[in-house]
């Protein structure tokens, strides 16, 4: 990465990259902080924006196609996906504007339905759960038809439904047995679940 970064002792710019254990994902974490600022990241003072020339090479899948996402720290403890796209040729390259006093994460995966990144030709992509009963995304990365489903993964609900790729949990089976160990379905402040 290159850019017009200050060499002032009050600025801290860091980047770290790596792959997951099986080499199917590349991650890049970037931070740019004005360390003289007394406010914590996520507070009102974001600091000046800088232009960053981003270049990620030597992807583990060679020159094949890939999908990428850009995640930005938007509040204390939260990251929001702000941008995504596709590429090829074994390199992600471009100029990005990065807000000062911010943390960003880039995720790259080999292209294809089932990699967990919604690419331009896909309606949805939930990775390995595509097409399963617990997903509203079909195996071919299209929305499952609107209608009944068992998509929320909760044993204690009945009547779940999928609509435009979104799961709506059904009604809680309050009072019904949900475990051989004596648990019963119950609605709590955290939702519906098996309570012992």
In DSSP notation, 63-129 reads TS-EEEEEEEEEETTEEEEEEEEEE-TT-EEEEEEE-SSEEEEEEEEESSTTSSS--TT-S---GGG
Indicate left, alpha or beta for 176 from its phi (over 0: left) and psi (-120 to 50: alpha): beta
Whether residue 98 sits in one domain with residue 29: yes
In this predicted structure, the answer to whether residue 98 has a pLDDT above a threshold of 60 is yes
* Range of lowest pLDDT (7-16, 123-132, 158-167, 179-188): 7-16
Tell me: the pLDDT tens digits for 35-65? 666 555 544 456 667 788 888 888 888 888 8
Place of tokens 């090829």: 88
Whether 104 and 157 map to the same domain: the answer is no
Mean pLDDT of 173-185: 86
Please state, in angstroms and rounded to a whole number, the distance separating the CA atoms of residues 147 and 142. Answer: 15
129 part of a folded domain: no
Helix (H) or strand (E) holding 55: strand 50-56
Residue 130 lies inside a defined structural domain of this protein? no
Q: Is the predicted pLDDT of residue 18 greater than 70, yes or no?
A: yes
Mean pLDDT, residues 111-137 = 90
Tell whether 133 is covered by a domain.
Answer: no
pLDDT at residue number 74: 74
90/168 same-domain check:
no
The confidence score (pLDDT) of residue 97 equals: 84
The C-alpha atoms of residue 11 and residue 155 are separated, in whole angstroms, by 51
In the prediction, which pLDDT does 38 show?
Answer: 59
Q: What is the pLDDT of residue 190?
A: 78
| Cβ–Cβ under 8 Å, residues 125 and 119 | yes
Whether residue 65 is contained in a domain is answered as yes
The reply to whether 75 and 153 lie within a common domain is no
**Beta 66-75 vs 25-34: how paired, if at all?**
unpaired
Give the pLDDT score at 33. 75
Domain residue limits at 173: 145-195
Residue with tokens 């949990």: 169
Number of domains in the chain: 2
Q: Is the pLDDT of residue 181 over 60?
A: yes
The answer to whether residue 77 sits within a structural domain is yes
Q: Is the pLDDT of residue 101 over 90?
A: no
Q: How much of the chain, in percent, has pLDDT values that exceed 90? A: 26
């Amino acid at each position: 990465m290159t850019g017009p970064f200050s060499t002032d002792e009050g600025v801290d710019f860091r980047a770290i990259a790596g792959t997951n254990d099986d080499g199917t994902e590349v991650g890049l974490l970037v931070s740019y902080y004005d360390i003289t600022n007394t406010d914590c990241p996520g507070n009102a003072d974001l600091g000046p924006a800088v232009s960053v020339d981003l270049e990620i090479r030597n992807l583990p899948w060679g020159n094949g196609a890939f999908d990428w996402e850009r995640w930005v720290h938007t509040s204390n403890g939260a990251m929001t996906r702000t941008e995504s796209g596709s590429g090829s040729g074994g390199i992600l390259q471009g100029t990005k504007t990065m807000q000062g006093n911010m943390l960003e994460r880039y995720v790259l995966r080999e292209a294809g339905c089932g990699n967990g990144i919604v690419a331009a030709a896909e309606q949805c992509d939930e990775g390995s759960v595509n097409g399963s009963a617990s997903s509203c995304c079909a195996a071919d990365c299209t929305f499952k038809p609107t209608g009944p489903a068992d998509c929320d993964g909760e044993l204690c609900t009945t009547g779940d439904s999928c609509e435009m790729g979104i799961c709506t949990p059904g009604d809680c089976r309050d009072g019904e047995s949900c475990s051989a160990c004596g648990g019963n379905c119950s609605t709590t402040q955290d939702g519906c679940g098996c309570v012992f």
